[in-house]
A and B are shown apart, each in its own frame.
Chain A
Amino acid sequence: MAPFVVSFLLFFLFPSILSILLSLFRYKGYGKAVFVGMENYIRLLTYGHFWETVGTTFFYYVAHLVPVFVFPFLIALLFTSRRTRFRGFFEAALFIPNIVAVVASALLFKILLATNNGAVNALLGTKIPFLDDPSIMKLGVVALLLWRGFGWFLVVFLAGLTTLREELKEAAMIDGASFLQTTLFVTIPVLKPIFLFALVMDLITSLKVFVEPSLLLAATAGSTVPPPAETIMSILYNNMNAGNYGMASAAGWILFLILSGASILLFRLFDPAGDRR
């Protein structure tokens, strides 16, 4: 146990505490660290672009959420309610994008959606600037998030539906409930914890999105992402790159606060009375 606890303290707990302190200093990595109090936080929170990245992050989150939730749920319902032929094939086919590395899938989409000579435009016979037009390029990121997230939700819902007791559904059916009624009044309420789990997990990864917009929308490796497409994590990354370690830490803690706030909101939405004691 000692090795685990030591590495945990050294590489997680100690740096976490250090990170709080660091966020109160101006420190370039060399020379003296200057104590600035809350200045890093105040500067981030009064910086228009920071709020733009918060907006963009939530845009990616909200825009991908509904389709990535609804369609896999309907498919999972279909798979478990009636015998579907080739179910194994469909399951695997829909899950495969999830195992492709984020980096590889972002680069793949960048080439597929290119304005000149992109496969999608070639198939459509068009020249739509999917990734070059600032008004639609965020949708490319959403498409990528959808493509990768679909199979994960499906697998989670399937796991949830198989733990749902068959007798429960049958009892409802015998009492004369239709399939739709059984789904609405038995399946969905019983699956609430699974929904919450899927939503929270997806929220955590979505609010930390960074690779997708940066690799999909930067012209070449290392060049900057168009600012309107940047996410909260880009602020952390850009400050790391510029050597503003105090500011980067502050951005990390603001991200943590946003994450916690959003998670608490999700819990409240799902369980308004605190598990109806």
Chain B
Amino acid sequence: MRSRAPGPAAIATYGVLLVFAALSLGPLLVMGFDALKTTTEMARNPAGVPREPTLVNLEYLVAKYPGGTFVRSVSNSILVSSGATVLSLLFASLAAYAFAKIPFGGRKVLFTLLIATMILPVEITIPPLYIMFARIHWLNSYKVQIVPFAASVFSLFMLRQYLMAVPDSLIEAARMEGASHGRVFAMIVAPLCTPVLSVLAVLNFMGRFNDYFWPVIMVNTAEFKPVMTVLPTIATDANSMFPPSEYLMAGCAVITLPVLIVFLVFRRSFMRGASLGVSVKE
């Protein structure tokens, strides 16, 4: 069969899709362009391709930022997000193993109670936690950005659902051979969970990395601030007459680019993460 010329319906369809794609990617494209412009070019050409691309904005953020705060904040973010992710996934998978495979009294009730608390918004805990952390001098630290996120009920739920589908015989066989629960967890359960764990790792890491509300309340010393609370201050930190938009654009580009690359490599994981709840509903 020879290929037909696309009909008007097809042209209209692709036209609409292209418009949506352009609206989606356009703002990010402009962000990339503006990050490479000087102040003078930014004033003349705020939307287009940079005519004389320059790395001065990047150089400012990396090498000339007052107090080196920008670079520091990026590493703070990576540190606390990884810390919180590792901690919460470790605790959640240990607990999921217990809830799915080790019978104990009140197991069902306890699990149901934990799930029921998911309807409470975490924001209600912020005022008491703030007072608590002030008392024990945890404000303005790394630990206040890591430890409180140790118990993720959502991760526990997903991991337990996954483990329920693993046949008990597999674990019983290992137990018969004399393996301890710890050994079964490390040698059988954890490797089995890798697919869910990777999706949950992406979700947890991104959730921490992108969070603004928690750190803006709990952390206000430059030393411990994550990048999300430093980004909005780029314009004021520069202390210049005109808030330099191109610095801000460069800052946004610097933190968006790595995420974009990771996304393009692990697209499936990201998209499955977004629709995770859909498969649970069944």
- Residues on A lying within 8 angstroms of B by beta carbon are 1, 3-5, 7-8, 11-13, 15-16, 18-19, 22, 27, 29, 71, 75, 78, 84-85, 89-105, 107-109, 111-112, 114, 117-120, 122-123, 147, 150-152, 155-156, 158-160, 163, 193-194, 197, 201, 204, 208, 210-211, 215, 220-222, 233, 236-237, 240, 245-246, 248-249, 252-253, 255-256, 259-260
Whether B271 contacts A95 by the Cβ 8 Å rule is yes
Whether A221 contacts B232 by the Cβ 8 Å rule is yes
- Residue from the list B124, B217, B233, B243 in contact with A19, Cβ < 8 A: B124
Which residues of the partner chain B approach A18 to less than 8 Å between Cβ atoms? Answer: 128, 132
Question: Distance in Å from the Cβ of B116 to the closest Cβ of chain A?
Answer: 11
B173 at the A/B interface (Cβ < 8 Å)? no
- Residue from the list B43, B248, B249 in contact with A117, Cβ < 8 A: B43
Whether B46 contacts A122 by the Cβ 8 Å rule is yes
**Interface residues of A: mostly helix, strand, loop or mixed?**
helix
Taking A78-B13, A102-B212, A112-B30 as contacts, is the C-beta distance between A94 and B127 under 8 angstroms?
no
**How far apart are the CA atoms of A150 and B267 in the complex, in Å?**
17
Which residues of the partner chain A approach B232 to less than 8 Å between Cβ atoms? Answer: 103, 107, 215, 221
Stretch touching chain A among B16-24, B161-169, B187-195: B16-24
Which residues of the partner chain B approach A208 to less than 8 Å between Cβ atoms? Answer: 121, 123
Which residues of the partner chain B approach A220 to less than 8 Å between Cβ atoms? Answer: 235-236, 243
Closest residue of chain A to B277, judged by CB? A197
Whether B260 contacts A4 by the Cβ 8 Å rule is no
Which residues of the partner chain A approach B134 to less than 8 Å between Cβ atoms? Answer: 29
Whether A159 contacts B275 by the Cβ 8 Å rule is yes
B281 at the A/B interface (Cβ < 8 Å)? yes
**How far apart are the CA atoms of A91 and B121 in the complex, in Å?**
31
Q: List residues of B (242-256) whose CB comes within 8 Å of A's CBs.
A: 243, 245, 248-249, 251-252, 255-256
Closest residue of chain A to B134, judged by CB? A29
Q: List residues of B (205-221) whose CB comes within 8 Å of A's CBs.
A: 206, 209-210, 212-213, 217
Q: List residues of B (86-138) whose CB comes within 8 Å of A's CBs.
A: 91-92, 94-95, 98-99, 110, 114, 117, 119-132, 134
